Amino acid sequence: MILIGEAINGLQPGIRQAILSRDKEVIRNLARKQVNAGAAFLDVSTGTAWPKPAEIMVWLIATVQEAVEVPISVNSRRLDVIEAGLRVCRNPVMINAATGEKEKIPLYMDLALRHKADLICLTMDEQGIPPHAVGRISIAKRIMDFSEQYGFPRNRIYIDPVLLPLKFFQAQGPIVLEAILGIAREKDAPHVIVGISNASQGMKDRALVNRTFLAMAMACGLDAIICDVLDAELTATIAAAEVILERRPYSDQYARESKKASAGASS
Amino acid sequence: MILIGEAINGLQPGIRQAILSRDKEVIRNLARKQVNAGAAFLDVSTGTAWPKPAEIMVWLIATVQEAVEVPISVNSRRLDVIEAGLRVCRNPVMINAATGEKEKIPLYMDLALRHKADLICLTMDEQGIPPHAVGRISIAKRIMDFSEQYGFPRNRIYIDPVLLPLKFFQAQGPIVLEAILGIAREKDAPHVIVGISNASQGMKDRALVNRTFLAMAMACGLDAIICDVLDAELTATIAAAEVILERRPYSDQYARESKKASAGASS
């Protein structure tokens, strides 16, 4: 399982404050803690509403790279912000995220190829997010067809079937599980990823929903996750699921070795 | 999700002692506690090595029925013990378990039909337990073919793909998940059930393995479980998984309502 730590996000009040006061130690500390907890990538997002988001992105990435060596997942909706981030990243790196829009896929693939970046692609297009699994699987196939044309390595594509908050869109649960199963069972399947924390927005017992969904999604073929890697019960669940899927040999320490094993799995 | 409480089992030292001293209150109390925790059925097993197991079975069932109204799952490897148990059971009732052996399926189906019993069938036959999912799925199909011939209602069959202890047979994890997926996606699929506690025998953090496997199996189509219903984290995981699968409407009390909702689901 490839763990991507989500904590460095300008939407979080603590991070927003650190950006405003250019407090590097807050950022560096959170980078170190996430890597110690098993993150193979660190997602970096400025959040919204900065007058110069590209500058914030560059500062955040530079600061993270002062503390840790793991690759960065450069997270923005704006291509110029992603590009600014990529320029200061050490390789390898990840772009979070492209969509399945026909006009945009080539731009993102081109950018990812130039920067030797992995690429997260959301299963949404000009029409939005398809309301059924089959529509998301078909956007995933379109993305894979493009990757074929571009000579983009399949194992550097991460398809994200877009998990919306279950409290408001409860049908998303079975739809996304079905989409994961469908995509993961394609021939030469790409990685399949979701952002888990979004799913439980506004729910009670969020951590329970997150770790239960994660176990279910792993059974369907999910192999990467953007999550709160500091949630010890979540990483213990990942460890148990990997033992159950026979991706990690059983030892009596399995639930306490999540860090090392997860980091190893991504390398 | 249909929960079957496993606690009344003569292999458990407390139950063994209660049988020896004919202490009815121990049995009745455990029956009540399991029903309060959401059990839709109570499994009753004498354990092994009694000189007259049929008598023990009859005593156990009569005692359980003094305390609660839920149907009994009569659990024995011996047909005569099952038959003795069935005779004192109030309907409805469940037989745990038949196998896929060609000589034996008719005996069990006939018995179940006569007693209007649900029937758990293990995916094992004369050759033992198939080492791959495809073999277990094909035994499940054979059982379903028999049920067709016998006019045995499909929704009263529970196929159990036989989960062996993962510590010693780690490949069982992916094999059983694949078997569940295959059986649950058959046309007019029967129920699919496993006994979860057996899986984690001898492992550390058994409860973590049990609830993680259960969430994964539910994603693959499992809809019944023989388990420790008194494990509150397990029943909370079931509640969360039901919300995720949209089988239970979300409410802020979802994780605390597992009892009522689970009992309702089975009726």
- Flag if A170 and B216 touch (Cβ within 8 Å): no
- Flag if B255 and A208 touch (Cβ within 8 Å): yes
**Taking 80 as the threshold, does the pLDDT of residue B93 lie above it?**
yes
Of B261, B255, B208, residue with least CA distance to A200: B255
Give the model's pLDDT for residue B260: 46
Please name every residue paired with B3 in a beta bridge, in sequence order, or none if there are none: B225
A112 part of contact set with chain B, CB < 8 Å: no
- Flag if B241 and A166 touch (Cβ within 8 Å): no
Given a contact cutoff of 8 angstroms between Cβ atoms, the answer to whether A224 and A197 are in contact is: no
pLDDT tens digit string along B134-145? 999 999 999 999
Give the model's pLDDT for residue A265: 39
pLDDT band at residue B240 using 50, 70 and 90 as cut-offs: very high
| Of A167, A170, A255, Cβ closest to residue B246 | A170
Mean pLDDT of chain B: 93
pLDDT tens digit string along A73-112? 999 999 999 999 999 998 789 999 999 999 999 999 999 9
**Taking 70 as the threshold, does the pLDDT of residue B264 lie above it?**
no
Which of B 156-175 lie inside 8 A of A, CB atoms?
166-167, 170-171, 173-174
Residues of A in contact with B170 (CB under 8 A): 243, 246, 249-250
Give the model's pLDDT for residue B257: 61
- Interface with chain A: mutation pick from B216, B242, B256, B257, highest number of A CBs within 10 Å: B216
Given a contact cutoff of 8 angstroms between Cβ atoms, the answer to whether A162 and A143 are in contact is: no
- Interface with chain B: mutation pick from A170, A181, A200, A216, highest number of B CBs within 10 Å: A216
- Flag if B205 and A236 touch (Cβ within 8 Å): yes
Give the model's pLDDT for residue B255: 79
Reported as half-sphere exposure (CB side, CA atoms, 13 A), residue B59 has a value of 21
Cis preceding-peptide flag for B189 (omega within 30 of 0) = no
pLDDT tens digit string along B196-232? 998 999 999 999 999 999 999 999 999 999 999 999 9
Give the model's pLDDT for residue A264: 38
Of B65, B1, B5, residue with least CA distance to B264: B1
- Flag if B245 and A213 touch (Cβ within 8 Å): no
B209 part of contact set with chain A, CB < 8 Å: yes
Q: Return the ∠ at Cα A223 (arms to A213 and A26), rounded to 5°.
A: 80
Mean pLDDT of chain A: 93
Reported as half-sphere exposure (CB side, CA atoms, 13 A), residue A178 has a value of 16
Give the model's pLDDT for residue A49: 80
Task: Give the residue ranges of chain A where pLDDT is below 50.
Answer: 259-267
Give the model's pLDDT for residue A257: 61
Residues of B in contact with A205 (CB under 8 A): 236, 240, 254-255
Share of chain B above pLDDT 90, in %: 91
Q: At what angle do helices A24-36 and A13-20 cross, to 10 degrees?
A: 140
Residue type, A72: I
Given a contact cutoff of 8 angstroms between Cβ atoms, the answer to whether A147 and A109 are in contact is: yes
A216 part of contact set with chain B, CB < 8 Å: yes
HEC assignment per residue over chain A: CEEEEEEEECCCHHHHHHHHCCCHHHHHHHHHHHHHCCCCEEEEECCCCCCCHHHHHHHHHHHHHHHCCCCEEEECCCHHHHHHHHHHCCCCEEEEEEECCCCHHHHHHHHHHHCCEEEEEECCECCECCCCHHHHHHHHHHHHHHHHHHCCCHHHEEEECCCCCCCCCCCHHHHHHHHHHHHHCCCCCCEEEEECHHHHCCCCCHHHHHHHHHHHHHHHCCCEEEECCCCHHHHHHHHHHHHHCCCCCCCCCHHHCHHHHHHHHHC
Give the model's pLDDT for residue B52: 95
Complex prediction ipTM? 0.93
- Flag if B170 and A213 touch (Cβ within 8 Å): no
Q: Record the pTM.
A: 0.94
